[in-house]
Amino acid sequence: MAGDGSISNLRSDVDGLLAQGRWNAAGLRIRDLWRKESTPATAAFVVSRYEKLREKVPLLPFRVAVLRSFTVEPIVPLLRASAFCAGIDLSVQVGDFNAYAQEILDPQSALYQFAPNFVILAVQSADIAPDLWQDYAQLSEETANQAVQRVSSSLQQWMREFRARSQASLIVHNLEVPARPALGVLDSQQGMSQSELIRQINQDIRRVASELRGIYLLDYDALVARHGRLRWRDERKWLTARLPIAAEHLIHLAREWMRFMVPFSGKAAKALVVDLDNTLWGGIIGEDGLTGIKLGSEYPGAAYQALQRTMLDLSRKGILLATCSKNNPDDAMEVLEKHPGMLLRPKHFAAMRISWNDKVQGLREIASELNIGVDSLAFLDDNPFECEQVRTALPEVTVIDLPEDPLQYAATVRDHPAFERLSLSEEDQKRTMLYAEQRQRIQAEQTFQSKEDFYRFLEQEAEIALVTPATLARIAQLTQKTNQFNVTTRRYPEQQVAEMAARPDWQVLSISVRDRFGDHGLVGVAITRDNGDACEIDSFLLSCRVIGRTLETALLSHLAENAAARGCRQLVGWFLPTRKNAPARELYRQHGFEPAKQSGDGTLWSLDLTQHRIAVPEWVKVNTVHGGKD
């Protein structure tokens, strides 16, 4: 536990910095404090100080409603403090005790009026299945099965009704099994035991959740087990305050909720940049040499292998790996290429900066090479000095604090919410390969005199198609993740994309691209809505890896032709500037649009379709897939 002295120093630092108006520095100190002490008392401090920062530092507003059968109020400040420190300004609404069914079924309920982005259904076994939880020994086989049926079908009904009424994402807790089954060891000997009946409900919940868009399962039973069933529960607080969770574990539920929220907030890390010495292996290669460093399947080298295995798992989720190390490149490359204990090899890294240069500069270069924002980087380094430098110079980077003990490294990375994903697209799984192809493109580009020659050489083929069930997840994911070439930065969950696509006046289009080096996959989205004789572009975005390839022209051309064919006289679209979407700023002007309206948020651009069209670049071959929408 951190000494109270350093905590109270941090607190007075925070207040001093706030008084001086040094907002960013204050934000950093608050994050330090929260990292050192994530407790209920500190949560209240963190939240109250962030209230003062709300207008001063960039925070993403996000709304969460919690439907519950037990006391969650003490978790709310912990959740809000964690969210603030992750750059999310969270508004939380807590429903009445055991009112979740009415809240879901009544379209006028406080739940829907709150218009949350995100809803958590936190119902525990003791409340929804009291017969299975405490009276199991008295139940006949038939009544026990009926209880399972009753609980499963209620939960199923609520999930379906919720899906029909709201576009928000829903996180459903599954049910915990008892720490002490009614029949003791006999429970494990029986087919339909108490634990097994509850697990059957959990299987039913999972099946329904997987059938419905935007409904995700939180494995509460596994969470409780991970922290120890007997320690998790506080019977006294349950009986006196309806709070079943022990004080020390409230933070763990708050963190579990964060792991579901971060992927939706655009705050997820796209790449993990790691140090080498004493991070990927034990020791210093420049001093200890190839045979001296600790790395292998036995202690102590196993700790580093475990971290490498964790990183391989991340790369399977589409997270890019990169390295930034102060080393002699030859020494470090020898380990990466030849050390028998290495699980990671050079091919696993999308970018490498091994030199004696400053790491802040290295991270900037890696972001630029990977074509992602610096804020999409996570940084892992055993050296607190390097971490502090990065935190100060690049506060938007997610810096992961490594504990002292290397055996804890892998768990620290696995537990970090920045690496969570709630769905995986094909693109995610082959991202590392896509980046290797991209390196070849960049090398090729440098050999051409003119951009046009390079474009011709690329032989790009684009396929523009209406959304299909197969592309829906990827389209929603792009709206959530794309920051740079994005004119309106509107984030949509899957189910909202599906609903837009189902309306007759809306069009949801995707563009997929391949060229001579490989297949980029689905890399762009356009969403339009017809409004009288104008077609308004609601969203228009391209993945950063195809910026500067004239594909935006091909896609805009398609929108203009289609709108004109439907009888529209104007094609209009807002450009809403953000800190990151400068690459899309000139999109409309460059394609002949004129500014039509100015508001505090941005500019509305308009193209007169009776006078103008947009030509497809000669070097892009466009195939249009007509959907069955009419």
Partner 1 sequence: MKVTTFDQIRTMASDLFGVPAESISAASSPETIETWDSIQHLNLVLALEERLNVQLSPEEIEQMKSVGDVVKLVEGKLQAVPK
Binding site for partner 1 (CB under 8 A): 4, 8, 39-42, 44-45, 48, 71, 73-74, 77, 236, 239-241, 243, 247-248, 250
Q: Which two tokens stand for residue 52?
A: 């003062």
Q: Which two tokens stand for residue 172?
A: 């459903």
Among residues 179 and 247, whose Cβ is nearest to partner 1?
Answer: 247
| Length of the chain as a residue count | 630
Give the span between the Cα atoms of 466 and 525, in whole angstroms: 10
Q: CA-based Rg of the chain, rounded to a whole angstrom?
A: 27
For 514-581, the DSSP string reads EETTEEEEEEEEEEEEEETTEEEEEEEEE-GGGTTSSHHHHHHHHHHHHHHHTT-SEEEEEE---SS-
Nearest residue to 265 via CA among 480, 547, 103: 480
CB of 5 to partner 1, least distance (A): 9
End-to-end CA distance of the chain: 64
The angle formed by the CA atoms of residues 395, 399 and 400, to the nearest 5 degrees, is 160
Taking the CA atoms of residue 621, residue 518, residue 263 and residue 378 in that order, the dihedral angle to the nearest 10 degrees is: -130
Before 300, cis peptide (omega within 30)? yes
Beta-carbon count within 10 A of 58 CB: 11
Please give the order of strands across the beta sheet that includes 118-122: 88-94, 60-68, 118-122, 169-173, 215-218
H or E stretch covering 236: helix 235-241
Give the span between the Cα atoms of 277 and 286, in whole angstroms: 9
CA distances from 146 to 131, 195, 321, 434 (A): 11, 15, 50, 51
CB of 57 to partner 1, least distance (A): 21
CB of 18 to partner 1, least distance (A): 14
Exposure string over 523-554, b if 16+ CB within 10 A, otherwise e: bbbbbbebeeebbbbbbbbbbbbbeebbbbbb
Among residues 2 and 411, whose Cβ is nearest to partner 1?
Answer: 2
Q: Which two tokens stand for residue 310?
A: 């964790």
CB of 260 to partner 1, least distance (A): 23
Among residues 198 and 246, whose Cβ is nearest to partner 1?
Answer: 246
Among residues 46 and 604, whose Cβ is nearest to partner 1?
Answer: 46
The angle formed by the CA atoms of residues 250, 251 and 255, to the nearest 5 degrees, is 125
CB of 508 to partner 1, least distance (A): 43
Give the span between the Cα atoms of 490 and 91, in whole angstroms: 19
- Return the amino acid letter for 400: I
Give the span between the Cα atoms of 195 and 187, in whole angstroms: 7
Taking the CA atoms of residue 538, residue 546, residue 517 and residue 309 in that order, the dihedral angle to the nearest 10 degrees is: -100
Among residues 234 and 494, whose Cβ is nearest to partner 1?
Answer: 234
CB of 377 to partner 1, least distance (A): 33
Give the span between the Cα atoms of 342 and 335, in whole angstroms: 7
- Give just the sign of the alpha carbon dihedral 478, 483, 489, 490: positive
Among residues 44 and 343, whose Cβ is nearest to partner 1?
Answer: 44
CB of 257 to partner 1, least distance (A): 18
Give the span between the Cα atoms of 477 and 497, in whole angstroms: 10
Among residues 27 and 493, whose Cβ is nearest to partner 1?
Answer: 27
DSSP strand E in 147-190: where? 169-173
Among residues 232 and 260, whose Cβ is nearest to partner 1?
Answer: 232
Instruction: Look up tokens 């933070």; give the residue.
Output: 251
Q: Which two tokens stand for residue 432?
A: 């590392």
CB of 26 to partner 1, least distance (A): 16
Among residues 24 and 48, whose Cβ is nearest to partner 1?
Answer: 48
DSSP strand pairing (518-531 vs 506-515): antiparallel
